[in-house]
Amino acid sequence: MKKIMNGQGITLGTCYYPEHWEKEDWAGDLDRMLAAGIKTIRIAEFAWSIVEPEEGVYTYEYWDEFLNLCSEKGMQVIFGTPTATAPAWLTEKYPEVLNRLPDGTVIQHGERQQTNFSSEIYRRFSENITDKLAAHYAQHPAIIGWQLDNEFNCGTSVFYAESDTLRFREFLKGEYGTIDALNKAWGTVFWNQTYNSFEEIHVPRKTNGGAYNPHLVLDFRRYISDTVCSFAAAQARIIRKYKKPDDFITTNGIFDNIDYRRMMNESLDDITFDSYPNFGYCLESWKEGAFNDRGNSRTLTEVRAIEPVFGIMEQQSGANGWNTGMEAPTPRPGQITLWTMQSIAHGADYISYFRWRTCSFGTEMYWHGILDYSGRENRRYREVKEVYKKLANMQEIAGATYQAEVAVIRDYDNDWDSRFDVWHKRLENMSGTALFETLQKTHTPFDYYRLYDDSDASDLFKYNVVFYPHPEIMTEARSEILKAYVENGGTLIIGCRGGQKDITGKCTKALLPGPLKPLTGADVTEYSYVAPDEGTVTVTWDGLRFDAPVFNETLEAEEGAEVSATYDNSYYAGEGALVKKSVGAGTVYYFGAAFNESTVRAFLEKTGAEAPLSAVIEAPECVELAVREKDGKEYLFVLNFAAEEKDIVLKAPAKDLLSGETENGTVTLPAYGVRVYLL
């Protein structure tokens, strides 16, 4: 995205739907956007029928007229391929392109993303419309980039059409080669599931209790990623034939069952994210004491694991809700600014607000944009204008990268396995949430790091402490990468159930923790869920007592390792709970339980990783701290997510880029207030 993400500045955009408005509204809308500092718009991602109203009939005049107006006004355009919403003529004539549920029920036309990426018919039409659009519009001077589809796997991330079964079989042939190899990998001898040919295999179908062969389901998730990535790659290849040399290709959002490293390598120049912090205030799901809008920082951290400097294609600017749900309040004064700075703090150099004007019809008629239905300038519009003024003082931050000394490792195999394996899910849900929230509360910035068999261990060397909560699926290659990290001086913390499964999802017959045994020096002698009538199980580590929640393993130390903590209660009181081993210049801790807040705090304290910014600033837990660094300069973002004033304490004078003022000592942040300090 060189034209809007080139390290030279942080810029604003918005999502615009000219097809929702009269043509006489267009010029006025564009003028007011430009007056608010909005210089880029995204268009057309749901507008297939405008260009192809009937099969094989193409009309280009509509977007020609609009793009010419954009050129006249000096507005830049990101053009979306419209394949997230197939036209009615297509689904009516070719119903086989529609997705299905596991019981065979067809997902009908009428919402969005009702089609499936496996259908050769749908692929043919999708590639055709992409070709027609790119061939006609790619050289238009107003266009600076292309968005593939819209939010891949958002409407659903699972696909059960007949075409999926056919494509799944081909995928499995490529993975296993022979049906005998597949039977062995899937353990099909269990419950008499043995296959004689690939033609007997189907995608998961409805069963009595909703149970499926878990190894089939794991490969099904991998298949979905493969299919989505290849669908995106086909569009990207077409666009590259026609686009101008500096125009970029991106897609928006991150969703389940997609390997984004592969999609980046095959299809994208950059990733953009759709940032909706207001989901934290949805009336149907809000909970007292929850992280609310601050929880969006967790997903922004996931985006940074794909690309450290990224864009936001859809940034919340108004109340959200379909007519069928997700209803939430209007952003309060200051929240648009707070949420914008939240995205920038995590690495965003381009912010595009969703949406310019609130549509007066359709399922999303309550999903508000900057302006309401009338288009009258309002409080939110004025706040966006103020954001633009603030950004003028922050341009030097563009290209800066988020700084963290702690990382949490994730990998797609374990992510996908934990979606359907309830034993794994319970652990991941507890530990994942506890790590994020505790690292946030203790002001310990962290990264997510995606681990693959071919990852470069040196990528981990910048982290002093790395958590890998529950790597149930573990390979020898990944274990060697972890070993190299520790040998270089790193501290690795692994939670229970590590190394329990092989790459197919089968439980290992080796002594636990399987491939991690040589690295950790731990021997798991017994394990159990914490019984529901047990109460809280605790451990003690050099006088520090903390929780061992959800699941407990009793541990012994092998040669070269030592038991550092033991259980305080339950029938295994006195047994090992934590094994420590020195490896090269570093240390491995294997902990036989999940992580809650008390547990994470204990490990941060013992490893000295907590609150690395404490020498610079003191802040209450409701305030998020983040640092971006560029050319030796550090920029400290201070974000108050509370609905009331909060005090922070600066340990030394620092210039706030937003106001130009130098501040020191106690500083009062207003409700939803923000500071960006040059340290």
CA distance 243 to 74: 19
CA distance 149 to 158: 17
CA distance 357 to 215: 47
The secondary structure of 7-41 as a DSSP string is SS--EEEEE--GGGS-HHHHHHHHHHHHHTTEEEE
Q: What angle do CA 670, 287, 298 make, to 5 degrees?
A: 70
Per-residue model confidence (pLDDT) at position 402: 98
- Tell me the Ramachandran region of residue 326: left when phi exceeds 0, alpha when psi lies from -120 to 50, beta otherwise: left
Q: Write out pLDDT tens, residues 424-482.
A: 999 999 999 999 999 999 999 999 999 999 999 999 999 999 999 999 999 999 999 99
Q: How confident is the model at residue 288 (pLDDT cuts 50, 70, 90)?
A: confident
Looking at residues 367-372, what average pLDDT do you find? Answer: 98
**Length of the chain measured in residues:** 679
Q: Three-state SS string across 220-241, please?
A: HHHHHHHHHHHHHHHHHHHHHH
Per-residue model confidence (pLDDT) at position 287: 87
Looking at residues 53-78, what average pLDDT do you find? Answer: 98
CA distance 295 to 318: 18
CB neighbours of 543 closer than 8 A, spacing ≥ 6?
none
Q: Distances in Å between the alpha carbon of 486 and those of 288, 482, 498, 512, 586?
A: 40, 6, 17, 20, 5
Percent of the chain with pLDDT over 90: 98
Q: Write out pLDDT tens, residues 374-411.
A: 999 999 999 999 999 999 999 999 999 999 999 999 99
Per-residue model confidence (pLDDT) at position 404: 98
CA distance 14 to 353: 4
* Residue 305, pLDDT above cutoff 90: yes
Per-residue model confidence (pLDDT) at position 289: 81
Per-residue model confidence (pLDDT) at position 569: 97
Angle of helix 23-35 relative to helix 61-73, nearest 10 degrees, comes to: 30
CA distance 475 to 643: 46
Which pTM was predicted? 0.97
Q: Distances in Å between the alpha carbon of 261 and those of 186, 305, 412, 505?
A: 26, 9, 10, 22
Q: Write out pLDDT tens, residues 199-239.
A: 999 999 999 988 999 999 999 999 999 999 999 999 999 99
Q: Percent helix, strand, coil in the chain (nearest 5)?
A: 35, 25, 40
The secondary structure of 75-121 as a DSSP string is -EEEEEP-TTS--HHHHHH-GGGB-B-TT--B--SSSS--B-TT-HH
Q: Write out pLDDT tens, residues 113-150.
A: 999 999 999 999 999 999 999 999 999 999 999 999 99
Q: What angle do CA 522, 523, 526 make, to 5 degrees?
A: 130
Helices (H), 156-213: 162-176, 179-186
Q: Write out pLDDT tens, residues 470-510.
A: 999 999 999 999 999 999 999 999 999 999 999 999 999 99
Q: 198 exposed, middle or buried (CB, 10 Å; 0-12, 13-18, 19+)? A: middle
CA distance 355 to 314: 8
* Residue 245, pLDDT above cutoff 80: yes
Structure tokens at 638: 């201070």
Q: How far is CA 559 from the centre of its chain?
A: 40
Q: Distances in Å between the alpha carbon of 286 and those of 124, 283, 300, 328, 616?
A: 43, 6, 20, 9, 34
Q: Write out pLDDT tens, residues 576-627.
A: 999 999 999 999 999 999 999 999 999 999 999 999 999 999 999 999 999 9
Structure tokens at 676: 């960006």
- The mean predicted confidence, pLDDT, of the chain is 97
| Cis preceding linkage at 355, omega within 30 | yes
Contact 596, 500 (CB under 8 A): no
CA distance 200 to 217: 16
* Residue 2, pLDDT above cutoff 80: no
Q: How confident is the model at residue 1 (pLDDT cuts 50, 70, 90)?
A: confident
Q: Give the phi and the psi of residue 114 in degrees, each rounded to 5.
A: -90, -5
- Tell me the Ramachandran region of residue 585: left when phi exceeds 0, alpha when psi lies from -120 to 50, beta otherwise: alpha
* Residue 655, pLDDT above cutoff 90: yes
Per-residue model confidence (pLDDT) at position 654: 98
